[in-house]
Structure formats: structure tokens, C-alpha cells
């Protein structure tokens, strides 16, 4: 069993960052609970994220409260409370926005894991997040966790740079209110593999075994071309790269949803969105662009649907009718829609968010594989374009529209 006490072979900085990620994401007063014996490193990661009005509580499992004694003198303060009670004995009327489980789920017994998860569920506010993790080298997964993961998972991160490798899960048991989107910042790392110096989309794993096996087979046969599949695998890794970006959120601006070149800026109607007209900004992504999609505005996902269509070249007008995935966001300025469209080569769309989830402006939410097109639909009476055809733009960085002066 590993916990966040430093007894793993190598605990990467990204692991700690993943555990406290929701603390960094949440804007405003918050109560944070750490369950287990946190390491000094975890405490040093979470404390800078607390503001003057925030509270941190640390609670252990039954009969293990004495393990917190060394931490009291070092980190105890008015805002940091090391509880004398176990997490199971905490007052259920005192709620937390974020709970961090600082021990691997599959290192706990089934009864302890189930009771702890249910206790954390009761201690969270509506829309609150539970962060937990699994040790991927343990052969026995935690059976009781599978139902929680299927029903309540917001997103997961696989950290290959950690030894042992771990998968960090973020769970939400109750829905957010739409206006809560103003209380979140964009997060990095969702559905990605972090190797420390390089981060790529988790979709990369689908290519590792077949190309690796092909290379091994060629070498066994004595072929001098055994390295070609590995070169191709390197190309796939480059294509699926997922660079971190510093997002400067601005509610008066719309940020690009993708990297690429602006194909079209026009007032259009779209039968998939019902009646009315939209300001549509369409962008083409070449195979050399980063293919991670980001939310252009902050909002709540109120609808998602796929539209069956063809596979025309994404640069052509008839690509309007290609297979697409639409994500509809509710915002204070009305509905904003992002359509991920496949192209001639791109045939796979991945969307990591579901209905009811909040997205911060610039937050990563999906991927289109191998060249594609992304369209942003805005209420045409409220926004005006800041880009023109041919402009090169970056996801989460380039403003593509702004609220007009009529509001």
C-alpha cells in the first residue's frame, strides 16, 4: 500500500499537484479535508492554495490519530486543524468543498474503503469534489470503487512518472449550480499521461502495444526496419502532445477552442441547434497542431450530442456536414456551442466532460485525432469577432470574439 507519506519508491511533483488540483481550481472561500497522514510535501503543496478565509482539516482513520502528532507542531495554525477524531466521527453538518484521500484506495480493505467513501460523500457540499488515487501496480483493484467511478467520476489522470504509477480520480456526487462556473479556474492534466518533462493525451496508450509488438516482430524476423514502428510511435506522441498553458480568463472575451487556422467567420444557422442565427468561427487543425480542445467560455454543460455525417476534407465547405460532436454550454450571455468535426483523416472524437459539469474558460475538454475542424457558435447579437480568415490561433490563449457594446 502506498500513501502520501513518502513511502512510495518515487513520488513525483505532478502527483502532489494532481491531488491538490481542485484546490487550485476553486475560487472563493473553501473548506478542505485531507483524509490520512499527509506528507510534508503534500502539505507544502496545499497550503499556498489556501486563502485567508479558507480552512484545512486533517483527519485520520479510526485508531490512527496518533500518526498526525508530528504534523501538528509543524503545520498547525488557525486555518489548519488536525482533528482528534477520525474522519468517520466528523460532524456531518460541517461541509467541505474539497476532500483529498491521501492513501491509495486499493491499499485499503474493502470495508474501510467503502465506509470512507460514503463518509466523504456525506461531508461534501453540493458540487464538491473528492480526490482519490489507485496504485496501478497492485493486482487487486478496489471492487467497491468501480461503481463510484462509473457513476460519479469527473475526470482521471494517469501519472506514469510516479513510481509506482498511479491513477488520480476526481469524483463529484451532486450537481453544480450553473452560476458556480465563475468559481472555477481551468485545470491541466485531465485524461493525460504525465511523464514529467512531457505530457500527452491518454489516447496514446492505444498505439503503444500494436506498434511496439510490430517493432518486436520485425526485429525477431531479422528485419532492419524494426525501428520504423517506433518512429511512427514517436510521431503519434508528438501529435497527441498536451502542453500546459497559462489561461488568462476574461468573461468579456471568447478564447479559441483549438489550435489552428481560421477557416470561416460568418453569421449562420445550424439545423442541429434549432432556429436562430449564430456567429460561427470555424478553425482547421492540421496534423502539426496541438489537438486538445478547450472551452472558449466558462459555463455549465447542458447538452451533448453527436451528429452523423460524412468525412470530407475539413478545409472544404461540405465539411459542415461531417460527423460532429456538439457541446452546449449555458452561460450568463446565453448558450455557447462548440462543435468538434472529423475530417478526411480524423475519424475519432473524444470528449471528456458530461452533462452537468462546469467548465472554466480555457479548460481542456476533448480531443480530435489526426487533423480536424472545430467550430465555435456564439449568440450573434451579443458577440463580435476579433479574428479573420487565415489567422493562426491557439487554444485557451487567443481571443476570438468579445461581447459587443450593445449590452
The string of DSSP letters for 294-334 reads E-SS-EEEEEEEEE--B---TTSGGGGGB-EEEEEEEETTE
Count of alpha carbons within 13 angstroms of residue 107, beta-carbon side = 19
Where in the chain is CATH 3.40.50.150? 13-174
pLDDT at 1: 43
Sign of the Cα torsion 50, 56, 61, 67 reads positive
Q: How far apart are CA 286 and CA 343, in angstroms?
A: 10
pLDDT on residue 51: 86
Is residue 261 within 8 A of residue 398, CB to CB? The reply is no
Residue of 104, 161, 192, 372 marked catalytic: 372
Q: Whose grid coordinates read 476579433?
A: 386
Q: What is the pLDDT of residue 67?
A: 67
Whole-number pLDDT of residue 398 = 96
Output the pLDDT for position 198: 79
Cβ neighbors of 95 (< 8 A, separation 6 or more) are 31, 123, 124, 125, 128
pLDDT in tens, the chain (407 residues): 456 654 555 677 888 888 998 998 888 899 999 998 888 889 999 999 988 889 999 988 765 656 676 777 677 777 788 888 888 989 999 999 999 999 888 888 888 888 999 999 999 998 899 999 988 887 666 677 878 888 888 778 888 777 788 889 899 888 877 778 888 888 776 677 777 677 888 778 888 888 888 888 988 888 888 889 899 888 888 888 888 888 888 999 999 999 999 999 999 999 999 888 999 999 999 888 998 999 999 999 999 999 998 888 888 888 888 889 999 999 888 899 999 998 877 678 888 887 888 899 999 988 887 668 999 999 999 999 999 999 999 999 999 999 986 54
The Cα 181–Cα 23 span in angstroms is 15
Q: 286 φ, ψ to 5°?
A: -80, 175
**Ranges assigned E (strand) in 36-152:** 55-60, 80-86, 96-101, 124-135
Phi, psi of 257 (to 5 degrees): -90, -10
For the chain, residues classed under CATH 2.70.70.10 are 253-403
CATH, domain range 253-403 = 2.70.70.10
Burial 119-139 (b: 16+ CB within 10 A, else e): bbbebbeebbbbbbbbbbeee
How far, in Å, are 22, 111, 207, 216, 354 from residue 129 at the CA level? Answer: 7, 22, 32, 43, 15
- The DSSP output letter for 369 is E
Backbone angles phi, psi at 119, to 5 degrees: -65, -45
Give the homologous superfamily in CATH for domain 13-174: Vaccinia Virus protein VP39 (3.40.50.150)
Residue of 103, 110, 167, 171 whose CA lies nearest to 143: 110
Crossing angle of helices 205-220 and 228-239, rounded to 10°: 170
Residue 10: per-residue pLDDT: 64
Is residue 269 among the annotated active site residues? no
Amino acid at each position: 500500500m502506498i500513501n502520501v507519506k513518502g513511502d512510495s519508491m518515487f513520488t513525483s511533483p505532478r502527483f502532489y499537484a494532481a491531488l491538490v488540483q481542485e484546490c487550485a481550481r476553486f475560487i472563493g472561500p473553501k473548506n478542505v479535508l485531507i483524509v490520512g497522514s499527509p506528507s510534508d510535501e503534500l502539505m507544502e503543496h496545499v497550503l499556498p492554495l489556501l486563502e485567508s478565509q479558507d480552512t484545512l482539516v486533517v483527519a485520520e482513520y479510526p485508531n490512527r490519530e496518533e500518526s498526525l502528532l508530528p504534523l501538528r507542531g509543524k503545520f498547525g495554525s488557525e486555518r489548519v486543524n488536525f482533528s482528534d477524531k477520525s474522519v468517520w466521527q466528523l460532524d456531518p453538518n460541517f461541509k467541505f468543498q474539497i476532500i483529498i484521500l491521501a492513501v491509495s484506495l486499493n491499499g485499503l480493505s474493502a470495508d474501510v474503503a467503502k465506509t470512507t467513501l460514503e463518509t466523504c460523500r456525506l461531508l461534501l457540499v453540493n458540487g464538491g469534489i473528492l480526490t482519490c488515487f489507485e496504485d496501478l501496480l497492485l493486482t487487486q483493484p478496489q471492487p467497491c470503487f468501480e461503481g463510484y467511478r462509473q457513476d460519479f467520476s469527473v475526470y482521471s489522470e494517469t501519472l506514469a512518472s510516479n513510481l509506482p504509477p498511479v491513477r488520480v480520480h476526481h469524483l463529484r456526487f451532486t450537481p453544480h449550480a450553473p452560476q458556480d462556473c465563475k468559481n472555477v479556474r481551468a485545470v491541466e492534466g485531465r485524461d493525460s499521461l504525465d511523464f514529467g518533462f512531457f505530457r500527452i493525451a491518454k489516447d496514446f496508450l492505444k498505439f503503444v502495444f500494436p506498434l511496439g509488438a510490430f517493432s518486436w516482430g520485425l526485429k525477431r524476423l531479422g528485419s532492419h526496419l524494426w525501428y520504423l514502428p517506433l518512429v511512427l510511435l514517436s510521431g503519434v506522441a508528438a501529435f497527441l502532445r498536451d502542453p500546459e498553458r497559462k489561461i488568462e480568463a476574461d468573461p468579456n472575451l471568447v478564447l479559441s477552442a483549438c489550435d489552428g487556422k481560421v477557416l470561416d467567420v460568418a453569421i449562420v444557422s445550424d439545423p442541429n441547434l434549432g432556429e436562430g442565427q449564430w456567429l460561427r468561427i470555424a478553425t482547421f487543425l492540421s496534423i502539426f497542431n496541438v489537438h486538445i480542445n478547450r472551452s472558449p467560455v466558462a459555463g455549465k454543460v447542458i447538452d451533448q450530442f453527436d451528429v452523423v455525417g460524412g468525412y470530407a476534407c475539413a478545409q472544404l465547405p461540405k465539411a459542415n456536414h461531417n460527423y460532429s460532436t456538439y457541446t452546449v454550454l449555458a452561460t450568463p450571455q446565453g448558450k455557447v456551442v462548440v462543435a468538434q468535426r472529423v475530417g478526411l483523416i480524423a475519424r475519432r472524437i473524444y470528449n471528456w466532460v458530461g452533462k452537468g459539469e462546469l467548465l472554466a474558460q480555457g479548460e481542456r475538454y476533448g480531443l480530435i485525432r489526426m487533423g480536424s475542424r472545430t467550430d465555435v457558435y456564439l449568440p450573434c447579437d451579443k458577440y463580435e469577432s476579433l479574428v479573420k480568415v487565415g489567422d493562426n490561433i491557439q487554444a485557451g490563449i487567443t481571443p476570438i470574439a468579445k461581447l459587443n457594446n450593445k449590452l
